[in-house]
């Protein structure tokens, strides 16, 4: 009997306290949500489509690619010299390893020529 009375009293207290506590909890949760937003992507940062910032970046990438793989004429000249030296060194070494070095030097020299001319 005493147990049933305790249970009923607890339920009555909860029933009376719940309507008072719920608005306070909602206000507290709203204050926390405003001051500490959840981590992750935001609607304000959403960007779709093509913008002017993308255009300027694309033009910079295009102009950098048009200069060639080594960037400037000076670097192209250096690459031609290094490629020529590797080509001659590979021919002097001979055999399979020498052929690999010679072909690599030829490729570096041609890329340097392309950069120098462009």
What region does 37 belong to: left with phi over 0, alpha with psi -120 to 50, or beta? beta
Are residues 89 and 105 in contact, defined by beta-carbon separation less than 8 angstroms? yes
Calpha distance 51→59 (Å, rounded) = 13
Confidence of residue 86 (pLDDT cuts 50, 70, 90): very high
Residue spans per domain, the chain? 1-36, 63-118
Instruction: Report the range out of 46-50, 65-69, 88-92 with the highest average pLDDT.
Output: 88-92
Record the pTM.
Answer: 0.45
């Amino acid at each position: 009997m005493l147990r049933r009375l305790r249970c009923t009293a607890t339920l009555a207290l909860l029933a009376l306290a719940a309507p008072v506590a719920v608005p306070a909890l909602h206000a507290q949760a709203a204050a926390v949500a405003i001051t500490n937003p959840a981590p992750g992507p935001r609607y304000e940062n959403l960007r779709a489509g093509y913008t002017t910032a993308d255009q300027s970046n694309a033009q910079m990438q295009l102009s950098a690619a048009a200069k060639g793989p080594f960037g400037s004429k000076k670097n192209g000249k250096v690459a031609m010299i290094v490629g020529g030296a590797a080509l001659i060194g590979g021919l002097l070494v001979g055999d399979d390893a020498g052929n690999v070095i010679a072909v690599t030097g030829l490729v570096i020299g041609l890329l340097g020529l392309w950069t120098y001319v462009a």
